[in-house]
Amino acid sequence: MLREVRELLELPARFVDITLHDVESTSILMKDGSAKEIATGRSFGISVRVLDRGWGFAYASSAGELKDAAERALRGARLAKERVELADVKATRDKVEAIAKLHPSRATFEEKLDYLFRAHDVAKSYKSVVSTSFAYNDASVKIIYLNSEGAEVEMRYPRVAFYAQIFAKEGAKIQFASERVGATSGLEALVNVEEVAKEACEKAQRLLYARAPPSGEFTVVIDPKLTGVFIHEALGHAVEADHVVQGESILAGKLGQSIASELVTIYDDPTLKQGFGSYFYDSEGVKAQKKAVVEHGVLRSYLHSRETAAKLGQEPTGNARAQGYNFPPMPRMSNTYLARGDASFEELIEDVKQGVYLLGSRGGEVDTARGVFQFSAEEGYLIEKGEVTTPVRDVALSGETLEILRRVDAVSKNWGVHIGYCGKNGQLVAVGDGGPAIRTVATVGGTQ
């Protein structure tokens, strides 16, 4: 098949690239101790992008359909109205594979199911827990990328994930909590599923006895999980260069300017070892690289595809990503996180007379053009005279992205990156986000 693919690189166009995706996966959903949804399968497909005046894109699910897909892509490229340019990159030939001690393809179905049973056994010991949902997912991914400039890259990597969702009840009160763990690695990343289930159960129990939060502007301490979500949603999407080009980012034209406290350094790093959003090369064959998006408060970089880099006169950053063979690549984050500081948690709260400590995220909304956001924290606590005191629930955090970043006055030593999937223009890609706990000022209120 590769011989046929290489022949298509000779299409009469300025640029051609072809990507083969081959993914074997398993997913298991267990509800209240019973496996309810089980799926195993293999997905194979080939995408063809052709650049004549503009882009043409098509895909095929078999080798027999490939020639027709290439012809459709070529016709589309010739019909495009806007001329597209690409930033130059060195064509690479490489073959790389992520290391897995316990590769999911070598584990039996029963061994995978056992992770869910182990988690369920933990949840059964909590009397207040009335319903549980645990999920297991793995994917063994093989990608071959080729282009008409001479690039040919083969990548193989496994990805595993485990999710816990817990419902707890006390009288008429019901609360929900969730936890997750995963990595671009083998099953060794799931050795602590019991601890993940335990934390979800205990969080749901804590929320049963939490009260409604105060409203107003407060000093807030944000835990590493919520820091990661804030950095990803409020800042990360604003530095994706297609948003910048389209005039949809508050950060357009701000490269080299101070946008945050000097304590704030933010990286996007697809090379992070075992990161859920890690990869070797992006979907245009550009080598993955760690880059400082914000360095000591100064905006240093956008996240580029080759097209957006050319439009803005900058270097590609290796951030063009596609969900699969049936999607074209576009600028996306990988593992995006705030660098650790030097403060202890005690130092973050010791000077706070009246504030709120916020943990985790239940989602929210971001407007990258206006630079405003609203998130819902999973749980919280009041901070009173330097002490963490009363638990609160259904807490919303809102404000202006750049104002929140400028008012960061403490960054902790504790640090972590957490897993997720990011949606954009109908595509989902695996990402990591995180950082340390931080202290800033924001508007807090209830979500109900």
What are the tens digits of pLDDT across the range 250-282? 999 999 999 999 999 999 999 999 999 999 999
Average pLDDT over residues 86-109: 95
| Strands (DSSP E) found in 198-318 | 216-222, 266-268, 291-295, 298-299
Report the mean per-residue pLDDT for the chain. Answer: 95
Per-residue pLDDT at 157: 95
Q: Please, which residues have CB within 8 angstroms of residue 352's CB and are 6 or more apart in sequence? A: 219, 221, 383, 386, 439
User: Model's pTM, two decimal places?
Assistant: 0.94
Q: Which of 167, 172, 226 is nearest to 201 (CA)?
A: 167
Using pLDDT thresholds of 50, 70 and 90, give the confidence band for residue 21. Answer: very high
Per-residue pLDDT at 4: 83
How many residues in the chain?
448
Residue with tokens 């002490």: 387
Tokens standing for residue 141:
């991914």
What is the bridge-based pairing of β-strands 152-170 and 173-183? Answer: antiparallel
pLDDT for 242 beyond 80: yes
Contact at 8 Å (CB) between 207 and 381?
no
Positive or negative, the Cα torsion across 213, 215, 219, 223?
positive
Backbone angles phi, psi at 245, to 5 degrees: -60, -40
Using pLDDT thresholds of 50, 70 and 90, give the confidence band for residue 365. Answer: confident
Quick: pLDDT tens for 68-77.
999 999 999 9
Contact at 8 Å (CB) between 163 and 29?
no
pLDDT for 58 beyond 90: yes
**Going from the N-terminus, what domains does the chain have, and what CATH number goes with each?**
2-208 (3.30.2290.10), 216-446 (no CATH)
Q: For residue 364, how many other CB atoms are within 10 A of its CB?
A: 18
Per-residue pLDDT at 362: 87
Per-residue pLDDT at 448: 57
Percent of the chain predicted with pLDDT > 90 = 92
- Whole-angstrom distance, CA of residue 213 vs CA of residue 360: 15
Contact at 8 Å (CB) between 266 and 339?
yes
Q: For residue 289, how many other CB atoms are within 10 A of its CB?
A: 16
Q: For residue 27, how many other CB atoms are within 10 A of its CB?
A: 16
In 23-63, which ranges are continuous DSSP H helix?
A: none
Quick: pLDDT tens for 31-46.
999 998 999 999 999 9
Backbone angles phi, psi at 403, to 5 degrees: -65, -40
Quick: pLDDT tens for 387-422.
999 999 999 999 999 999 999 999 999 999 999 999
pLDDT for 446 beyond 80: no
Q: Please, which residues have CB within 8 angstroms of residue 213's CB and are 6 or more apart in sequence? A: 356, 380, 392, 393, 394, 395, 444, 445, 446
